[in-house]
Amino acid sequence: MHIIFQLDLILTIQQTTKKRKPEWLLKKVFFAQQKDVEIALKDIGIHTVCQEAKCPNMSECFSKKLATFMILGSTCTRACSYCNVDTGMPSGIDEKEPQKVADAVVSLGLKHVVITSVTRDDLKDGGAQQFVKCVKAIKDMDESITVELLIPDLQYDEKALSDVANCGAEVVGHNMETVPRLYSVRKGANYKKSLGVLKSLKKANPKLKTKSAFMLGLGENEDELKTSLQDLLDVECTLLTMGQYLAPSKAHAEVVEYINPKKFEEYGELALEMGFEFVKSSPYTRSSYMAHEYFDEK
């Protein structure tokens, strides 16, 4: 439950590009259903990527006591053209944050936890140890709680990636976001190196499940997407999500195409046929959306 980095997939429901959103993206948000979760989070002093990104799934997830925690602050050191997270120089690290996250997990009665973060290029390890400490704090309270991490690239540091891979989380994700031709939207990122992040995680811990995500509608074509899906399988990444990119404002990368829900279903079926173990593919799918379902289906 946290910032999807990465924010890599951090999107907002207030989309204002020139293209008119189709009716299948006019999702209603029922804020009244969120209050219990929001109050609990505020009392503990922890934030979620759901709130920071104004995720369109927030009311649905909060009503089910699901959330993605965002650690390491709310200021990112990069400025990806699709992301609505604040950029700049972050403050220091909250040493009490791991326990705050664990307390929130217990308070909300969560059985599956997702934790993400902004990119912290100002930190030597990219924030890896904060992820490790959060997992330890949760597992110390209840070993049966499953934990999923969504990490930035950690500056491709092999030790940092190994530490995260072996910290006790059942799933670690790193989002590819888009196909190689469109990688200019990911400031400071590199397609091959992002694949390398997933490869390094698996190499450091072969038993670890790795996960990635694509936001579609930036101008990719089906052949490019299929090639990128195969790239993921080649580095043994078998958990996948695909969702519609929504531009946070006119200043962000423009939506090139609104993809029909039926096409998302076809892409999902294709991914399963190719060999992915678990796939969520729909216009409103986000990296951590209904992430617990992977464990429910096992």
CATH classification of the domain holding 249: 3.20.20.70
pLDDT digits (tens, 9 = 90+) for 136-177: 999 999 999 999 999 999 999 999 999 999 999 999 999 999
3-state secondary structure of 295: helix
* Tens digits of residue pLDDT in 27-51: 655 544 455 666 666 666 666 655 5
The residue-averaged pLDDT of 76-96 equals 74
Q: Is residue 4 part of a domain?
A: no
Question: Which amino acid belongs to residue 25?
Answer: L
Count how many domains the chain has.
Answer: 1
Helix axes 261-274, 222-234, angle to 10 degrees: 40
Residue 6, domain member (yes or no): no
Question: How confident is residue 292, by pLDDT bands cut at 50, 70 and 90?
Answer: low
Residue found by looking up tokens 């946290």 in the block: 2
Identify residue 239 by its one-letter amino acid code: L
131 and 109 Cβ atoms separated by less than 8 Å: no
Please, what is the Cα angle at 256 between 254 and 257, to 5 degrees?
Answer: 135
Structural domain contains residue 3: no
**Would 230 be classed as within a structural domain?**
yes
CB atoms within 10 A of CB 117: 30
3-state SS of 222-269 is HHHHHHHHHHHHHCCCCEEEEEECCCCCCCCCCCCCCCCHHHHHHHHH
CA-CA distance, 46 to 71, in Å (whole number)?
8
- Domain membership of residue 15 (yes or no) is no
Note whether residue 104 is domain-resident. yes
As a whole number of angstroms, the distance between CA 54 and CA 48 comes to 10
Q: Give the structural domain span for 83.
A: 23-297
